[in-house]
Amino acid sequence: TYVIAQPCVDVLDRACVEECPVDCIYEGARMLYIHPDECVDCGACEPVCPVEAIYYEDDLPTEHTPYLQDNADFFFDTLPGRDEPLGSPGGAAALGPVGVDTPLVAAQPPAP
């Protein structure tokens, strides 16, 4: 899968969303997350991100490796204020912004 990492926090450029053929890039509150089961590894999102937040899982820089698990946690863990995990919604546009983040992302300092 491809992964969105910390540089997306508070940027949310959303250029990646326009490129994704399977609509598997979902919006939290402070960043977007790629669904690891819905992503088909087409790679179209990676070059369009202006802050280079997107990586193939095996290419994540060391400081961003926690985001592989964290993108998955956004879907398969419960999130603050939600009783049920999101699971596999099958499309980000229909779901809309979720409005919350994983604990890791929520704890990031505000972008300068």
Subset of 52-91 contacting ligand F3S (CB under 6 A)? 53-54
Asked if residue 15 binds ligand F3S (CB under 6 A), the reply is yes
Dihedral, CA atoms, 45, 51, 53, 55, nearest 10 degrees? 60
Choices 24-32, 82-90, 91-99, 103-111; region in contact with ligand F3S by CB under 6 A: 24-32
* 3 burial type by CB count under 10 A (0-12 exposed, 13-18 middle, 19+ buried): buried
- The whole-angstrom separation of Cα 2 and Cα 94 is 21
| Among positions 13, 57, 66, 77, the unique one binding ligand F3S when judged by CB under 6 A | 13
| Nearer to ligand F3S (CB atom), residue 40 or residue 78 | 40
| Nearer to ligand F3S (CB atom), residue 87 or residue 97 | 97
Phi/psi at 27 (nearest 5 deg)?
-100, 125
Dihedral over Cα of 100, 73, 57, 109: its sign: positive
Contact residues toward ligand F3S (CB under 6 A) are 2, 4, 8, 11-16, 19-20, 22, 24-25, 32, 34, 39-45, 49, 51, 53-54
